[in-house]
Amino acid sequence: MSVNEQFQPTIVAFCCNWCSYAGADLSGTNRLQYPANVKIIRIPCSCRLNPMFILRAFQKGADGVILCGCHPGDCHYTTGNYYARRRMTLLFSMLDFMGIERGRTRVEWVSAAEGAKFAATMNEFVDTITKLGPNRRLEDLRCRKE
Amino acid sequence: MQKRIKEKALELLNTGVVDRVLGWKIGEFFYDLTPAVFETAEEVEENFVYSGFSGANLSKYLIAQSRAGGKVAVFLKPCDSYSFQQLLKEHRILRENVYVVGISCDGMLDIEKIRAAGCDGVIAVKENVDSLEVETLYDKKTLNRNDCLLERCLVCKSKKVVVFDEMIGENGEEQETARFEMVAKLEAMSPEDRFEFWRGELSRCIRCNACRNVCPACSCEKCVFDNDKSGLRNKAAADDFEENLFHLIRAFHVAGRCTDCGECSRVCPQNIPLHLLNRKYIKDINELYGEYQAGADMETKSPLTNFTFEDCEPSIIHERGGV
Look at chain B and report how many structural domains it folds into: 3
**Distance in Å, alpha carbon of B53 to nearest chain A alpha carbon:** 32
- Asked if the Cβ–Cβ distance from B191 to A72 is below 8 Å, we say no
Q: Note whether B240 and B302 are same-domain residues.
A: yes
Partner-chain residue, chosen from B244, B245, B313, that has the shortest CB–CB distance to A85: B313
Partner-chain residue, chosen from A79, A86, A96, that has the shortest CB–CB distance to B317: A96
Domain of residue B304 covers 178-323
Q: Note whether B200 and B142 are same-domain residues.
A: no
* pLDDT of B323 higher than 80: no
B97 within 8 A of B70, measured Cβ to Cβ = yes
Which of A60, A98, A144 to mutate to test binding with chain B, by most B CBs within 10 Å of its CB? A98
Closest CA to B161 of B65, B57, B248, B91: B57
Q: Note whether B311 and B278 are same-domain residues.
A: yes
B283–chain A Cβ distance below 8 A for any pair: no
Which of B180, B241, B316 to mutate to test binding with chain A, by most A CBs within 10 Å of its CB? B241
pLDDT at res. B321: 60
Between strands B33-38 and A64-69, the pairing is unpaired
User: Which domains does chain A possess?
Assistant: 10-133 (3.40.50)
What is the three-class DSSP state of A29? helix
**Distance in Å, alpha carbon of B293 to nearest chain A alpha carbon:** 16
Q: Note whether B236 and B281 are same-domain residues.
A: yes
Q: Note whether B218 and B236 are same-domain residues.
A: yes
Closest CA to B205 of B150, B264, B281, B257: B264
Q: Note whether B227 and B254 are same-domain residues.
A: yes
Q: In chain A, which residues touch B (CB < 8 A)?
A: 51-52, 55, 58-59, 72-73, 79, 82-83, 85-103, 106-107, 137-142
Q: What is the average pLDDT value for chain B, to the nearest integer?
A: 90
Beta bridge partners of A66: A13, A106
Partner-chain residue, chosen from A86, A92, A99, that has the shortest CB–CB distance to B198: A99
CA angle A123, A126, A127 (to 5 degrees): 85
* pLDDT of B240 higher than 60: yes
What is the three-class DSSP state of A111? coil
Residue A70 is given by DSSP the state P
- Asked if the Cβ–Cβ distance from B280 to A95 is below 8 Å, we say no
| Predicted confidence (pLDDT) per residue in B156-181, tens digit | 999 999 999 999 988 989 988 889 99
- Taking only residues 254 to 273 of chain B, the set having a beta carbon closer than 8 angstroms to any beta carbon of chain A reads 255
H or E segment at A94?
A: helix A80-97
ipTM: 0.90
Q: Note whether B274 and B287 are same-domain residues.
A: yes
Q: Note whether B138 and B197 are same-domain residues.
A: no
**Distance in Å, alpha carbon of A75 to nearest chain B alpha carbon:** 12
Q: Which residue of B has its CA nearest to A81?
A: B307
pLDDT at res. B230: 76
Region A23-44: mean pLDDT is 95
Chain A residues inside the 8 Å CB shell of B257: none
CA angle B208, B213, B216 (to 5 degrees): 150
pLDDT at res. A146: 60
| Predicted confidence (pLDDT) per residue in B191-230, tens digit | 999 999 999 999 999 888 899 999 999 988 888 888 888 7
Q: Note whether B221 and B246 are same-domain residues.
A: yes
Residue A76 is given by DSSP the state T
**Distance in Å, alpha carbon of B238 to nearest chain A alpha carbon:** 9
- Taking only residues 157 to 186 of chain B, the set having a beta carbon closer than 8 angstroms to any beta carbon of chain A reads 183, 186
Q: Note whether B50 and B136 are same-domain residues.
A: no
Chain A residues inside the 8 Å CB shell of B188: none
| Predicted confidence (pLDDT) per residue in B263-280, tens digit | 999 999 999 999 999 999
B277–chain A Cβ distance below 8 A for any pair: yes
* pLDDT of B237 higher than 70: no
Chain A residues inside the 8 Å CB shell of B239: 140-142
Closest CA to B280 of A5, A96, A82, A71: A96
Q: Note whether B204 and B119 are same-domain residues.
A: no
pLDDT at res. A3: 54
Calculate what percentage of chain B has a pLDDT beyond 70: 98
Q: Note whether B84 and B224 are same-domain residues.
A: no
